[in-house]
Each structure stands twice: as structure tokens, then as C-alpha cells.
Amino acid sequence: MESLPIFMRIKGARCVVIGGGEVATRKVSMLLKAEAAVEVIAPELCDALNAQVLANEIQFRQALFEPTQLTGAVLVIAATDHEDVNTAVSNAAKAQNIPVNVVDSPALCTFTMPSIVDRSPVVIAISSNGAAPVLARLIRGKLETMIPASYGRLAYLSRDFRDAVKAKFADTQSRRIFWEKTFQGPIAELMFSGQERAANIALADAIKAEDSKAQHGEVYLVGGGPGDPDLLTFRALRLMQQCDVCVYDKLVSKEVMELVRRDAELINVGKARDQHTLPQEEINLLLVALAKEGKRVLRLKGGDPFIFGRGGEEIETLMENGVPFQVVPGITAANGVSSYAGIPLTHRDYAQSCVFTTGHLKSKDGQSHTVELDWPALARPNQTVVIYMGLIGLEQICIQLIKHGLDATTPAAIVQQGTTPKQKVVVGDLSDLAAKAALAELKPPCLIIVGHVVKLREKLAWFEPRLD
């Protein structure tokens, strides 16, 4: 994030606009919406601004720019056609520590003017930090169609009842849950349909009827996918935004974690290979304990919870303790990573079946390590084998597959951090893949794909990770 997004209260404050043309007119309009005291300084004005002067909506000083004109201003906008004047305005404002925006010159700005979705008192600002203002306006257009104008009235309704809700619910969590139910239920629908009086009555009744005692908690077992946040389901994102606490694994990408509600408590339980911050049994009990505190618990896992994610073990414990839960599938690494690597898992010319397996399982001492797999089954022809968590045992995996019948020249690939900007793909065959992976210094998480479908990557690879 290159800039800090803030909202600045400028009601009644002196804001100066240098320039009197059409661009200045647009900036003046924005400032007037925020009820600023606007002064325009320019040698002459366009018709629109002149009309606003005559209507006493803005002040006008007919003059060339001088730095002393900015004294006492809380905000300055330069909107002239002259680069030297705009630069002088920027320098003068910075010298006086006044926020300044220079139209179409991000390098001269200390703040940029965002595209606005106005549902006052709800205001949404979209900014590209000056890099792509047209894109910001396109995004605004999409949001305009998705957010009803009545959201503003809903916000005012909330304001009118805030004290009553605060008196009813002693803790922040209970108040948050109550308001979320209100904003997503029948009361909101009454506001959206224009029935404001009915909505007021319904909200007052809801406050009286609501049980202010301990709320019942719930666990959301959510698949976070292989790393790219665009691969999340709508349901996953919704639950990520309403949780009180997030219990997450190391395999969940940073980009996905950024979408969890900002003020949710975050608990990292690790779950990297042989580096568990908490043993699985303790994680199971932690979910129970948090839910019984009345919290909405997001159990966020990389990939899919039920594919090598131990989600089944967790919901067994939840069921035994009477804790309600939801399960939200995620795109498992096999699907997501293979797609981004340009390797189809099945193809009628190369593979008619696909097998998922793991490179390590649970041993008697509780540690995870490479174990004996069903090598004859994995070495069958005309299939694709996808191996999760097999980087450490890669050399032995290749040896065993050759030993049990696969040709040493069988194509194979290993993909590091698939679907993310740090994706790295190493392609070889069973005889040399381990050596190539070591040379590339790959690190977990990695996915191994074995089979003739790997040959298709050469012409099907489409994803180009960012090179930092």
C-alpha cells in the first residue's frame, strides 16, 4: 500500500483551488460536496465557476499564483494547464505543510483525489494512487451498480439506534453480531424498499426482543485455496469478513489472509511439515473452546479442508462437543496448481485417471515423514499422480516409482507456491527431477505431478508469475 487512505473533515474549512477551467470546476464540485469553504484563484474563470461565484457558493480571487495565497488553507488543489504554475503550487504547499493535489501529476501530490461512491454517510473511495485513474473510475462504476442508494439511509438508521444497542449489549462482540444480523435481514430490506417508518419500529422491537446473554458460537471450516485470492468462493469470502477469530495454517497465503476481517483475532497454528505450532488434537480443542466463548471462529486452511487438510478430524471433535459448524470447500492444490502450471491432470491421449496422495503421513511417534505408499498402484500406466507435501522425500519418491514399473524417462514436474506471484515450476523426468529441484533451491509448499500430461506444459503454460 503506497498511500494511507484517510477521510478528511473539511466542513467550513478554507480550501484553495488554483485554476479556473473545467478541471478546476470538477475539483470545486467535490470540495463543495464536503461543505468546504472554497476559494478559487485564477486570472479568469470558466462560465460554470463564474456562475458559482455569482451564487455565492465559492470565493474568487482574480490573480496570478503567489505562495502567500495559500496561508491559512487546509487543502490545496492545482488545476492549471501550466506545468510551471502547478509545480510552484506544489512546492509552496509542501513548504507550508498543506496537503496538495496536482491534477494528473502524481509526483507533485501529497494526496490524490479518489473516485467516489457516495452513499452518505457511507462513502467509498477508490484510488490507483495516480497510476490508473480510468481503472479506478471503472471500479467505481461496478460498485455503483452493486450498492443501493438506500445504504445511506440504513447507516442513518444505525446512528439513531446506536445508544440503545450499546445499552442493551455490554460487549463489542454482541453488538457487532446484532448489527450484522440487522444489516443482512428483514430490517434492511424494509429500508431498501422505502419503508423507513416500519424499519424503525422493527429495529426497536428487535432490540427489545434480542437476548443479550451469551451468544452461541460457530466454526467455519473454510478452504483458502492454493494461494491466489481470486480463487476463493463467494461464501468463503463472506465468512472471512464476519469472523471474530481466525485460526489459520502456514499454508494460507499472505494475499488470502489480507481478506480476513481487519479486527479479527488471528491465531497461527502453523501446520507446516514437522513444525506444528500446535498439535492437531490441541487445535481441535481450541476450536471448541473459542466457539463456546460465543465467538464465530474461522478455521482457514490452505487448499481444501477435506483433501489432506485434516478437516474431518476437526469436525469430529466439534460434533462430539455440540459445536455448530459450516464447511466451505476450497480449490485444492492439485487443481489450482496444475492449472496455473499449464499441466492438465487428465487428457484422453495421456491419462484417463488421476491419483492424489501425500508424501508424508502420521507415524507412531506423532511425527510426519515420508512413508511407504502403495507404489504398485501409483506406478500404473495411463494415469497422473499428484503428490502433496513430497519435497523432502522427492528423491525416494522418484526411485520407488521407477522401481515399481514407471520408466525413468516418465515426465514429472514440481511446482513451488503455485498460483501465486512466486510460482516456480521445475520440469524433468523421474531420473533427474530431484536433482533439478535441489539446484532450483525449491522450498515448501510444493506439489509434485508425475505423468505424460507434464509434456503438455511446453505449449499450455499461460501463467506468468511476477518476477521481483
- Structure confidence by residue, pLDDT tens digits, 8-59: 999 999 999 999 999 999 999 999 999 999 999 999 999 999 999 999 999 9
Q: For the chain, what is the mean pLDDT?
A: 91
**Residue 255's pLDDT is what?**
94
Distances from the Cα of 208 to the Cαs of 183, 198, 203, 205, 453, in angstroms? Answer: 17, 16, 9, 5, 63
Give φ, ψ of 215 to 5 degrees.
Answer: -80, 155
Distance CA 320, CA 314 (A): 10
Q: Is 422 a catalytic residue?
A: no
Residues flagged as binding site: 22-23, 43-44, 226, 302-304, 307, 332-333, 389, 418
Distance CA 175, CA 161 (A): 12
**Given 27, 228, 244, 249, the catalytic residue:** 249
pLDDT over 90 at 190, yes or no: no
Residues flagged as binding site for S-adenosyl-L-methionine: 226, 302-304, 307, 332-333, 389, 418
Instruction: Enter the CATH code of domain 218-331.
Output: 3.40.1010.10
Pick the CATH number of 334-460 from 3.30.950.10, 3.20.20.540, 1.20.1300.10, 3.20.20.70: 3.30.950.10
What class does CATH assign to 14-113? alpha beta
Q: Is 81 a catalytic residue?
A: no
Host H or E run for residue 205: helix 196-209
**Residue 215's pLDDT is what?**
59
pLDDT over 90 at 233, yes or no: yes
Helices (H), 19-171: 22-33, 47-54, 83-95, 133-146, 151-168
Residues flagged as binding site for NAD(+): 22-23, 43-44
What average pLDDT score do residues 206-220 get? Answer: 76
Distance CA 140, CA 132 (A): 13
**Residue 365's pLDDT is what?**
52
Q: Quote the cell numbers at residue 296.
A: 464465530
Instruction: CATH 3.30.950.10 in the chain: give the residue spans.
Output: 334-460
**Given 27, 228, 244, 271, the catalytic residue:** 271
Q: Are the beta carbons of 323 and 345 closer than 8 angstroms?
A: no
pLDDT over 90 at 83, yes or no: yes
Distance CA 401, CA 31 (A): 70
Distance CA 386, CA 341 (A): 13
Question: What CATH architecture does domain 151-209 belong to?
Answer: Orthogonal Bundle (1.10)
